[in-house]
Structure 1
Amino acid sequence: MEQEDSNAPSNSIPQDVILHKAESPWRPRREQNQTETDEDTKVTADLYKRVRSILNKLTPQKFQTLVKQLSEMEINTEERLEGVTDLIVERAIDIRGPCYCVAYACMCRYLVMIKVASTSKQGEYVNFRSILLTRCQKEFEKGKDCEKEIEERRKVIEETQDLEKREELCKELEISKIKGKNRSLGNIRFIGELFNLKMLTESIMHDCLFKLLGAKDEVSLECVCWLLSTIGNDLDTDEARPRVDQYFNQMDKIVQEKTISSRVRFKLQDVIDLRKCNWIPRGNPQTPKTLYQIHKEVKKEIQKRQIFLHQLKAQHKPKQERGKGAKGSRSQSGSEMGASGGWDVVGNQTTPSQGQSRESSRWRELHRVEIEKSSKTAPPTAKELTDEEMEKKTKTILDEYLHLHDIKEAILCVEELKSPSVMHTFVSSAVNYVLERSHIARNQTGLLLRDLVKKSVLSVPVYIQGLTEVIQYAEKMEITIPKIWQYFGELIGPMIQDGSVPLNFLRKAAEPLKENNKAGLLVAEVLHAASHREGHKKVGSLWRLSSLKWEDFMASGDVKKFIVDKKVEFTVEDDSETSTSTVFVSMEAIQDKLQHLLIKEKADNEVIFGWIDESVDDPNMKSNKFIRALMTSVCESAITGSGSSARVLPEVIKNRGDLLRKYLDHRAESELQALYALQALVHKLEHPQGVLRTLFDILYDEDIISEDAFNQWEKSKDPNEQEGKRVAIKQVEQFFTWLREAEDDVSDS
């Protein structure tokens, strides 16, 4: 046995050896990609969740805010852009959302310029418009596949011997047919609204109608009726009339043959009659309207809706496209569809499919030539608009503004008119256009004119010139419009309500009416309209600061009687009238007075403003007790009935919106106190079903209380505010689910 060599190296490893760790250890590529993919998937899922939330909350009142949020999201890959497009289209054509087609189409118009790098073609980009049109085309072509599927299922049903199973299959088939029909109708309506916004061309519409009429099934014929009802007036041009005549000859033939149900025959006949009446609807078609339109202008707004949709296209174009002629814009925007069904975006480098018709190829060639011409030709020098052109532009801008409530965009559109010599025509046209419309339309137009003057887009002399062009005929209009002076007051009132424009402009504006002794009448209505939002005290102060006198508008001998008759005493300094403001009034007395004014007297807002300004000092005005007293009184005045039959009158809350907004002033604590007051009120009323939910809906929609305040109220654990809280939370559970976006409901839609 050999001796062990003492110099041989030891095989044992020391226990304290520390192994070197690389800063970036090697991992299999599959694991690296998986980690990146998981993170990307998470971000994409979060994006889709936020988009669903926005679509859930989309209302005309919040349109601009929500679209802005959507456009600012990180839609930076082709997959995400396609996913967002799918969500929008699905919601637009959903059975529960056809009345919002206009809003979703407008949303698409705002997103039309989004583009991202293509994943399949390196160095190229895909844009929202092309993805949207491809999606709509696929949905349109699903009809054929659905028909084939239905036929196959019918054969299966006929071959099924089991009666119970057969009956079950029949029910499932009927449900599928109804869903398919609703999707087809929703998609067609959406396509029509996209055409009205110039995202689709006439050629696509003609091809859709040709295919639908050729199918001859009842669903397709209903789609024809919907499409022509939506876009027929725009499509029935001199150039296209021969083709449209062919459609209607075929429709008339189908009606005469009586091979389809009476219901669809009557729908076809209604559209035929509509064309005979120059596309002017006889009744009240169910078209998209804002909440204001539903409650205030149903009869008048319906007839003007198609005009709005026809004109909205010009203002929704990208800036570089604005100002082009109708034909040019129509041929250079939207897309073309060949006979084989290819919807290709104009301007994109795409290869036409082999089966396209000569007509579609000719249209495509015309578009190509026009695009090349426009790219080579320098834009013409802008020239000032004529009075007639300015009038048309004014109506277009106002229609978009009153529909979308986007005052910044409206101001931008007016700035782009760049026709200083006829800007007074913008004012006179705007006043004329909304004079006989709703109170909301007049007030909103007044706010727009005020902001245009504040931002120096319009000068005060130009505003007065345009205003006087209409006012000088006011006395003659009084015969047919008895409330003409009130209407003028609502239009001019916003100009003075915050003191941004010196009040003495009224002296010049009312000048044409002095001869007929109507100047004072106009001024009184203007002051009352301003007081309705700001209160007598503030407007009276503005009057006195302006150095105006009633003698400027009438004979001095008529002034005293006029002031009393027209209830404009607040314009005259009188210590006896204002002395009450120095007297302490208890909160109990304030609450009793508010109850009396709001519930018993149903006083105008300006009367309530005046009393508060005179009787409640600033510390009390901002106190929690005052806010609660005001909120309780306003909401009590809007509740009719008692017990289980109690319900809310929404118009009352809306009419008191200015009152609540002024004193809540979007302060977080005041809004929270207002919600506590509501909680206490419904608890006192023993929680009548639906009352609190209706109040929450109105306060949110009218922008009286913010989303943050509602969430703060829901999460509040204040021990002093828990009485009735649990029941109240239960009653508005769906409201908060809607606010947070009910993912389960959305996934089922």
Structure 2
Amino acid sequence: METISLRPGGTGPTAGTFASFAMGSRPQAPSESTSKRLSSEDVIKYTKDFIVQFRERCSEMPVELATSPLEVVINDVNDDAMGDDTAAAQWGKKEAANAEKSDGKSDAKDWKDKPEVSSGEKSGKESKNSGSDSKKKSGGRVDLTPLPVGTEGAEIVKAENAWARGATDDAKTKTTRAIKGILNKITPEKFDRLMEQLLECGIDDAATLSETISIVFDKAIWEPGFCGMYADVCLRLSKELPEFPSGVEGGKPVTFRRILLNTCQEEFEGAGKARDELESIADPNERAAAAKRVKVRTMGNIKLIGELYKKRMIAEKILHACVTDLLGSPSSEPPEENVEALCNLLVTVGKELDASPKLPKQMMEMYFARLAALADETSTLDSRVRFLCRDVIELRKADWVPRVKKLEAMTLSEIHAEAAAALGISPAQTEEILFPEADGWEVVGKNGRSASSNNLAAMGGGKQSSLSGPYVAASHKAAMPTEKEKLKRDAQLREAARERAQAALVGPATPATSSEPAAAATGAMDAEKVEEKTKSLVNEYMQVADLKEAVLCVKEIVAGAKDANALAAMTKHMVAHVVDVSTEKANDLMAKLLAACVKQCGVSADVVFADLENTIEALEDIAIDVPMAPKLLGVMLARLIIEGALEAGTLNAATLKIDEGAVPTRRDFAAAALKELKKNGKVGLAEYVTKSGLDVKAALTGDEKFDGPLNAFLEKNGLKELC
């Protein structure tokens, strides 16, 4: 016989307990933990037949249940208090409705039986009632219940006129957006590249031209630190953009310069009116914010006018008209805003106005006499404005050199040069100081090589490739440093780098009693000292490739060398560096430096050729270890001949220095030199050969059994004219 549990929720071990309802809570899903807490003695079970016996007798609800406020009881009290949307109010109504439809035949059926609903019908009902039922059940939240297996979700259909960013914009709007995007990204470093993009944006009519000027003008006055750069933008656009016809018949053509100057003039003349309108704003906070905006626009416009004058886009008479208007009548004091604008204008263009040949000196003296009167203690101006006037007067007395440099847009090279000047060293040495090497890290390109192989070898047990064995992590002997320790370590590294950089120029620090500084000052550096300074010079030159800086260092070494033997140590190390490094880049840089040594630094050509000749004489042995040496030295000699540092005859002399038994080495050396002379020579190859007196047949003929005939070799190497 089937048993029925009186616990709410029906039969089964997972049904909920009556305690949750007795506490006034709503029906909840039964939990396994609550059912396990009830023992078999606490649960009373009745059979279905036993309960059916009371159906005829218990047809009305007892008074206690009819007036009970418990949510578990369905009565009129709970219906009125909780409404029809609650779960308790709907409990049991569905079963009663089904019973009425079946004419009372449902009494014999199990009350738990429910008709099965197909998946398609169920999904249709769910989609139909999703808009109302989901809101009632979840209070407006989206129902994330997964669809039944095998049911396809609603297909997303893209509308024909779906919204997309910029899809409905016209060509003018797209052009304006592109111009704003370019001006937002422009910097002195990217100026040329972005200006090309700006010119190709499609500024092809007067309306677009006016919009472009408005954008540039607003950027300039709201970013006064970049006014100089935006003045360059205006100068470039005024030169590149064409004229456009006027919209008025018989009117003047529309040009960039005319519209820009009109915009500046309207802003300048409207500043006073904008300040007068501030009085009509009742709210003090809004008035202060509006006053600040007016001041920023006024000062930005004045700064832009000054920068445009420095670019010769504004005539000098217009500038004097601005100064006169700002000073006002001599019989009255001008507004404080005008005096402040005048000070900013003179700071920007005062140096140019003082040096102008068109301006009489008496006019500038008159301007500054008026400023001196405004800066006097008897003036009614605010103290801040009076001190601004004094600052401009002092700036003129100091030849317009400011005590504190103002922040302006700079390129990376200008930033590096400023950092070098602050550190008191040459610009070429800022890289090591700003980015010191330590703890296995290195700057990319140091010495033309990478230390990654050494690091991998250290981590991988001496193996030079990550493919030759498993990766072994580096062992950490200490814990990660704290932030304070990192700052201390970085300061120490920078100080050490600075000391090394200074030592590379002036040599290691020695006591005052030492005679070495005095010897260097009087030109008494021996060969060892010269070689040490040359190593530092070459290493730095190979990193930064700054020929001008290298020439200055060479001149210092030449001036301090004790004698010709000491000076020869410098050129000897330069030639040896090419052989040691054995790269085309090092060969190219060193050839330029050696040519500059002869032509600009007073180094004798005989000294350079003597060191080169000694290396060429041992070229047969060098080529065994450095196969590229003959070709590199041949190219170096040819470039020195092309630059005029060495005579053409040195080619024949150098070739004869190579032993006759070293035919392949001599052949490679001579062929590399001749190809370089043909490629980059200032005269024809035949003329170089004639001047040098080179015996082409003796220099280039090899073993015909292995190397082939001479003519075939010349044609193969592009030297057919020497056949």
Settle same-fold status: TM greater than 0.5.
Answer: no
Length-normalised TM-score, structure 1: 0.38
Q: Whose helix proportion is higher, 1 or 2?
A: 1
Structure number with the bigger relative contact order (C-alpha 8 A, sep ≥ 6) is 1
Rg larger in structure: 2
Length-normalised TM-score, structure 2: 0.39
